[in-house]
Amino acid sequence: MALKPRILLVEDESGIADTLQYVLSTDGFAPVWASTAEDAIRLFSAELPALAVLDVGLPDLNGFELFRRLQALPGGNQVPMLFLTARSDEIDRVVGLELGADDYIAKPFSPRELVARVRTILRRSARPIATTTPAPAMPTSAPPIWALDEERHQIRFYGKALELSRYEYGVLRLLVQKPGRVFTRDELLLQVWGGDNDSFDRTVDAHIKTLRAKLKLVAPGHDPIRTLRGSGYALSEELPATPT
Ligand code: CA
């Protein structure tokens, strides 16, 4: 029987922690609770969890600082981390994501929603995509579906280098880094255009349109960018290993 994935839960409010421990354990996970950052650091090394859920407001360190410290521990940068934030201002969220955290969830949230998010992240992290350093050649030597070269500002799709404008690159880079994650138009505007005041939602849509056209030249039978009506865009996780 497979071991239950250990989830490190760092939350100082015992009421929230109890509820989350309960839903996580009834859903097949083995939660490990820490109420302070200090406990979290100790438990992280002892347990090496499959994923960590970090409350941003902790009594001893804030969740962002804790995130940095956990990442610096042996194996720490391999463990996906999800932030819990009580403050709804966008800055917290963006800071969280720019640190390289895997996701965030704003309080109040439903415990079921958190469990669903944990599942998605674990499923996603089990299928890593190639980044700057290409994976060792597989026996079949098929190129990875996506390869991101941040130094050259280049993205390869099924092994073909795409000719992208600065903003097309910026948008696709975000999507490729987190397949399946939904980016709202506002998030894309802020992260790619830097919140330029004369940019509009239409700007994002126009760039998605030209991106799709370029991707279609490589894989005519597929649309790798999903549109989620009313919410935004996400990279499809359903692409075949070779284009058809
Ligand atoms: Ca708290």
Residue 207: Cβ within 10 Å count: 21
Residue ranges for the chain with pLDDT beneath 70: 1-2, 87-101, 126-141, 195-199, 201
**pTM: predicted TM-score of the whole model, two decimal places:** 0.53
Ligand 1 midpoint to CA 12 (Å):
5
Span 111-126, pLDDT tens digits: 988 999 899 888 877 6
Ligand 1 midpoint to CA 25 (Å):
21
**From edge to edge, which strands make up the β-sheet containing 160-161?**
146-149, 154-157, 160-161
- The domains found in the chain, sorted by start residue, are 6-126 (3.40.50.2300), 146-235 (1.10.10.10)
Ligand 1 midpoint to CA 63 (Å):
9
Ligand 1 midpoint to CA 55 (Å):
6
Write out the two tokens for 110.
């439903």
Ligand 1 midpoint to CA 214 (Å):
45
Give the C-alpha separation, 222 to 240, whole Å.
Answer: 9
Using an 8 Å Cβ cutoff, are 132 and 217 in contact?
no
